[in-house]
Amino acid sequence: MKHIATVVIGAGHCGLAMSKQLLDRGIDHVVLDRGKVANSWRTQRWDSLRLLTPNWQSRLPGHAYAGSDPDGYMTMPELAGHLQAYSDRVGAPVETDTTVLRVNATSDGYIVDTDRGSWTCRSVVVASGACAVPVVPALSSGLPAGIASLNPFAYRNPQQLRPGGVMIVGASATGVQLAREIRASGRDVLLCVGEHVRLPRLYRRRDINWWMDAMGLMDVRHDEIPDLERARRLPSAQLIGTPERETVDLNTLRDAGVEIVGRLVALDGGEAKFSGALANHCALADLKMNRLLDSIDAWVAASGHDHGFGPPHRFEPTRLDRTPRLGLDLRHGRIETIIWATGFRPDYSWLDVPVLDRKGRMRHSGGIVASRGMYVMGLPFMRRRKSSFIDGAAADARDLADHMLSFLVRAAA
């Protein structure tokens, strides 16, 4: 049994950011990961994926991007190398290839059992990721026999798919990117669309993330939001990272030959049934996008100078077929594969501490978990709007490390 002040579970960007803040405060700790540094980025992403945020936004505590392509988007191997180099530079005490089996509370802290021994500690940081497990809806059990069913962790590239059409369920960042790539391979693609967030990649010559960063929108705190639960449930924006800085939205997909239908609501007797609310979902997404663009224009006007920004403009409203289909018989061979781009969730199967609500979500206030000495990192809108982004880890880790230091001092008194 090993003894230490703090165990950090996960050596992705959140765990490494927390490690740097703990090192700065002299808090003895270890970072445990089931694989290598940035394991999920290395092993659970499709081949062509790039970050959705520009390179300059891959900031971590005491580190800023210094490469030659600040406005580009890292590939997954590049990101893994970036995080490994950061870990090495700050001297993070990472124990790789160490799988956490169970975390239990004790009278004065926690026991963390792993496949390489156990640790006792005063505090624990859960930095194992908000996207550890793909969410596949229960209605998937109604798929007809013979149709392949994949989640985004199992998908690597179009060449692995059997010949024939592909239905992608979900039109947030993952769904639209896969629809674009698979359609470009020559397959028929049908995309099921529900509530979504439409954003342009570039507006007035700047990345949309530049605008949100410059205007302070990413720094909005969790205690400043009137409906925090809804903010935490918002789907990821329809964005893609490419060398050409392309915009991908339902219009570009439709122009490429992707068929757009409503949200998948049922699989009944071999027939897929789609919601009739597609037009409403698209109109709302267009409205919210234009409100953001209005706020950008107002911010530029208030600044008194344009800094070389381009002129204001608006994007074409989402175009839809006059009567989108409401059903499709999956037994007739058009669709051979379904990919469930229906979101992700954390994996807390190893956590034997009563801190989850009835839906399996972590009960916390700004990352301070409802169990003394336990913290969580990387959840959507955890402390700030940017909490689930690489760029959000530094500020969140700083706040939580300050709280932890006070807790450890009190516990030792």
CATH code reported for the domain at 2-132+346-412: 3.50.50.60
Domains 2-132+346-412 and 134-340 belong to one CATH topology: yes
Half-sphere exposure for 140 (CA within 13 Å, toward CB): 18
Q: Is the pLDDT of residue 303 over 90?
A: no
Rounded to an integer, what distance in angstroms lies between the CA atom of residue 340 and that of residue 321?
A: 23
Query: Whole-angstrom distance between the N-terminal and C-terminal Cα of the chain?
Result: 24
Average pLDDT over residues 10-14: 98
What was the pLDDT predicted at 308? 84
Write down the domain spans for the chain. Answer: 2-132+346-412, 134-340
* Beta carbons within 10 angstroms of residue 287's beta carbon: 11
Phi-psi region at 205: left, alpha or beta (left = phi > 0; alpha = psi -120 to 50) = left
Average pLDDT over residues 206-210: 97
Average pLDDT over residues 244-272: 97
* Share above pLDDT 90 across residues of the chain, in percent, rounded to a whole number: 95
Q: Is the pLDDT of residue 413 over 80?
A: no
Average pLDDT over residues 345-364: 97
The pTM assigned to this predicted structure is 0.95
Rounded to an integer, what distance in angstroms lies between the CA atom of residue 115 and that of residue 45?
A: 25
Does residue 384 contact residue 378 with C-beta atoms inside 8 Å? no
CATH code reported for the domain at 134-340: 3.50.50.60
Residues 41-63 have pLDDT tens digits of 999 999 999 999 999 999 999 99
Structure confidence at residue 179 as a pLDDT band (50, 70, 90): very high
Rounded to an integer, what distance in angstroms lies between the CA atom of residue 67 and that of residue 83?
A: 14
Residues 152-178 have pLDDT tens digits of 999 999 999 999 999 999 999 999 999
Q: Which of 152, 134, 140, 105 is nearest to 7 (CA)?
A: 105
The SS3 of residue 181 is: helix
Residues 226-241 have pLDDT tens digits of 999 999 999 999 999 9
Q: Is the pLDDT of residue 85 over 80?
A: yes
Structure confidence at residue 412 as a pLDDT band (50, 70, 90): confident
Distances, alpha carbon 173 to alpha carbons 180, 248, 249, 277, in Å: 11, 9, 10, 20
Q: Dihedral of the CA atoms 281, 286, 291, 297 (nearest 10)?
A: 170
What was the pLDDT predicted at 128? 97
* Pairing of β 2-9 and β 117-126: parallel
Structure confidence at residue 110 as a pLDDT band (50, 70, 90): very high
